[in-house]
Structure 1
């Protein structure tokens, strides 16, 4: 039986959106946010104090950077966001870059393929980093604000990592070795 060149139709039209991909992306975002520690633990004032020496300072910084990694990323991203409020074009570029990073680096499970060429994770990381630096520093016209925000975020993170005691933190074995 022929259909005279007509496109065959099905009673079960496939949806425009792949629901499995969306649920997988939601699961990966939740898993990523699950590594965030409670803010109450991060800012427990009873756990603050100056280190006893240089080795204690470096040990605290290393442990706290591993333990509060997601929290520190949120802090730096918020500092960046607030510094770009007065530069709306830069804020739009920043939001676009955040989506690029989320979809091309963090949520991707399969290797990236462009024109049948498989790109490894390291190349994607380098490429996104170059695009981020180039677009924010060259296209955004807010170089001073961006550099100042990154430095401010880094200083805030290092100060917290230095003064937050680590005796009450429970590191899993993977975080302790990184």
Structure 2
């Protein structure tokens, strides 16, 4: 019996070069991974901005850095990406590093365990940041990288200082221990 012209009911790995199930799982992981970031409208709610007092600025920065950690990482990485547009080698290295960021930080839905030890999100963020900076510095775009990081950090700190924290709920476990010494949010 011939099967010419029939549509196969099951996909075989040899006959189907594209695995659509893998693509749909990847889309779902991207959606789930990016869902852990805070909504941008919540981050830039105009009613939640005012100048802090000197005593509450540090507390606000600490709370907002813990609450909007993933959003702030995205902002700094976007600024870094834009600064590397005129350095093709650095841009290629940055894109490779972004793939590593996606898998190890943004899209990870399970805790990271290395050699039987649980690695927190804060440690992953710090290590990936340092590795990204060091690898990019080897591409000889040092001034662009340092200026972009400085601009990104300044923007993040300004936002964290002027964004009120009254409407934010930060769980100490979700914050990765960043709020242990912080007083009441202001």
Same-fold status (TM-score > 0.5): yes
Normalised by the length of structure 1, the TM-score is 0.70
1:127 shift after superposition: 8.0
Partner of 1:144: 143
Q: Does 1:98 find its partner at 2:98?
A: yes
1:42-121 aligned at under 5 Å gives the runs 42-54=43-55, 56-103=56-103, 105-106=104-105
Q: For structure 1, which runs of at least 5 residues remain unmatched after alignment?
A: 1-10
Residues 87, 142 of structure 1: 8 Å contact kept: yes
Partner of 1:31: 32
Number of residue pairs matched by the alignment: 160
1:110 shift after superposition: 9.8
Residues 111, 119 of structure 1: 8 Å contact kept: no
Q: For structure 2, which runs of at least 5 residues remain unmatched after alignment?
A: 1-9, 178-186
1:59 shift after superposition: 1.2
The structure that is helix-richer by fraction is 1
Partner of 1:5: none
Normalised by the length of structure 2, the TM-score is 0.68
Partner of 2:162: 163
Question: RMSD over aligned Cα, in angstroms?
Answer: 3.5
Q: Does 1:41 find its partner at 2:63?
A: no
- 1:60-96 residue CA offsets vs partner (Å, 9 max, x unmatched): 1111111111211111011101111121221121111
